[in-house]
Structure formats: structure tokens, C-alpha cells
Amino acid sequence: MITTRLHWSRDGAGEPLVLLHGVGSTHDDFATLRVSLCAEYDVLAADLPGHGRSSALDGTPTVDAITDAVEADLDALGLGRVHVLGNSLGARVGLELARRHRAWSVVAIAPPGLNAPVERAWQGLLLGTARVVLRTGRAWIEPLSRRRPGRAVLLGGLRAWPWRASRAEALAVRDGLADADAFWTTLWHAVLADVPTGLDDVDCPVVLAQGVLDGVAAGQTVRYLLAVPGARFRPLAAAGHAPQSDRPGAIVRLLREARSAA
């Protein structure tokens, strides 16, 4: 029996593709997108530490510590290098995996870490407020998730077209935002206080992407072009901060672009 540190959902066949969500969500944030991805990849979607069905780390949940947990699980699963698709914090962890030479390619959507202090404060205010509101109104999350207008309410700050999201994606904010054990410590240590270093060691293709309607992460993604050798930036039209169900077809094409360059 294989023992892993994190909870993983695995399906599909092909080259391994790891999906990593942002702070305040779970692996179900990729529910719509996974339908297409499983036709091309062996898809492994994780709940990051302290989110969903994954236990919190024993120590401080920095990007390094979270990446340690992901990397240890890849070892336990017998996987070396993998393709990575990450959103927000998951994108930042994906870039760290690339720095450690564990990625064949990375598609990083709206990674944090290179934002200015005022942008960090804004991001923290938005995410922190969402946590308080959803935790207070937790009993309403499940009923709201059943209908498109309700899903628009739950995901309105993250997606440009939140009513397009599936019920599973809407419920991810319950398990990853309202209920997450490690939300506040992860938000602080892995998002607001994180400063990336050593990304000039990345030796795989990296495609950076950000929704043009992203009101959470401002314009920080494009700054990674100066930090990651050979990285390319692709704006996602009509897409928000977590655009998995805003532009699923475009994200699949980004993965193909990155994989073809590997």
C-alpha cells in the first residue's frame, strides 16, 4: 500500500500531469478541466496541506515546506519528473518544483510572490474577507452550489464566468476556504510573505498565464519573465484569477504548448 502525505485524486492515462490549486480551494477547483485532461494525461490532483482532505503540516506552511510535501508524495508514487498545472499558490509551488528539477513543463496561472507590498495587502484583504464571509455563512454554501446563480455568488471573485463552474468547483470553497485548517498560516507564509529565489535554475519550459479580468493578483505574473529563463507569458482573455472553468480549452492548449517544448 502506497502512503502519501497529501490526498490525491488520480485518473486518466499518459504522461503524468500534477494539478495544484490555490490557497482556499481543493483539487476540485479543476473539476471541469479534468474531464479534458484525463484524455491526454495521467492526471494527479492534490489537496494542498491543510486544505480539503489533506492534513496540515507539522511545521510552518511555507512554499518550500508545501513543495517538500508534494515532492515526497511524488517519490512515494514512483514519479520522477512530471508536467505541472498550477493556479495561484499552486502555480508558485509548480515553479518551485521546476527549480528542483522535478518538472518536465509548467503552466503557472497567476503565481504570487513578485507583487508589491500594496498588492500583497490587497490580495490578503480579498482572500481574508472571503474566508470570514464564507466561514460565517458556511451553511449556505451547499444550497448555493446547486444552482448557477448560487455558484456565481460563491465564485464571483475568482472566476470571470462563475456560473459556468460545476457544483464540485463551488463546493471547493467550502472545503478549502471556509473549513481549511491551515488557511491563515498558509495565506501569510506561502502567499503574502513569500519572496521567490533561485528561479534562474529552472531548466524546463514554463508558460505563465493570467486572466485579463484577474482582480486578485494584479499584474504580478508577467514579472516572472525576468526570473524564469525562457518563460513565455500568455494572457487569458475573458478570464479571472482562477480561470479553470472560464477558459478550459485555452488552458489545455497552454499545456500542449509547454509539453511540446519539453
88-140 tens-digit pLDDT: 999 999 999 999 999 999 999 999 999 999 999 999 999 999 999 999 999 99
Pairing of the two strands 82-87 and 41-47: unpaired
Listed in sequence order, the residues at least 6 apart from 217 whose beta carbon sits closer than 8 Å to its beta carbon are: 88, 110, 112, 115, 119, 123, 210, 241
What phi and psi values does residue 248 have, to the nearest 5 degrees? -60, -40
What nine digits make up the cell of 195?
519572496
Listed in sequence order, the residues at least 6 apart from 196 whose beta carbon sits closer than 8 Å to its beta carbon are: 63, 92, 95, 96, 113, 114, 227
Provide the pLDDT confidence category of residue 3 given band limits of 50, 70 and 90.
Answer: confident
What does DSSP assign to residue 48?
Answer: P
4-33 tens-digit pLDDT: 999 999 999 999 999 999 999 999 999 999
- Closest by Cα among 230, 193, 3 to 105: 230
Provide the pLDDT confidence category of residue 219 given band limits of 50, 70 and 90.
Answer: confident
What is the per-residue pLDDT for 259?
96
- Closest by Cα among 61, 71, 73 to 24: 61
- How far apart are alpha carbons 236 and 31 in whole angstroms? 19
**Residue 1: is its pLDDT beyond 70?**
no
Is-contact 32 245, C-beta < 8 A? yes
Q: Which CATH architecture has domain 7-260?
A: 3-Layer(aba) Sandwich (3.40)
- Closest by Cα among 64, 23, 57 to 197: 64
> Model-level pTM?
0.97
Look up residue 108 and give its amino acid: A
Provide the pLDDT confidence category of residue 2 given band limits of 50, 70 and 90.
Answer: low
Provide mean pLDDT across the span 137-144.
97
**Residue 85: beta bridge partners?**
19, 107
- How far apart are alpha carbons 261 and 203 in whole angstroms? 12
Q: From the CB of residue 242, how many other CB atoms can be counted at a distance below 10 Å?
A: 31
End-to-end CA distance of the chain: 32
